[in-house]
Amino acid sequence: MSQTGYKCRLKVILAEEGIKHGEFARRINISPGTLSAIVNDKQLPSFDVAYAICTELKRPVEEIWVKKDVTLSESE
């Protein structure tokens, strides 16, 4: 279960692009541990990091993070 309210699709996107997590962390200038926390929905990135991720992948933020709809799970 996501702790952030968003589902991060970064793991899937990096796999599709054939990019290793460590390599990507270096490219956007963050630690591998920070990237791991972001990928595993443990934390949201700062604006600067989110911007760097979107720029590096040439994808919009909505394609990387999908907001979870809590009203559906609450009504079930």
| 12 domain residue, yes or no | yes
pTM across the whole model: 0.84
Q: Write out the residue range of the structural domain in which residue 21 sits.
A: 6-60
Cβ 11 vs Cβ 36: under 8 Å: no
| 18 domain residue, yes or no | yes
User: What CATH number is associated with residue 55?
Assistant: 1.10.260.40
> In which element (H, E) is residue 67 found?
strand 65-67
As to burial, measured by CB atoms within 10 angstroms (0-12 exposed, 13-18 middle, 19+ buried), residue 20 is: exposed
CA distance 76 to 41: 23
pLDDT per residue as tens digits for the range 2-34: 577 889 999 999 999 999 999 999 999 999 999
pLDDT tops 60 at residue 73: no
What is the chain's alpha carbon radius of gyration, rounded to the nearest angstrom?
Answer: 13
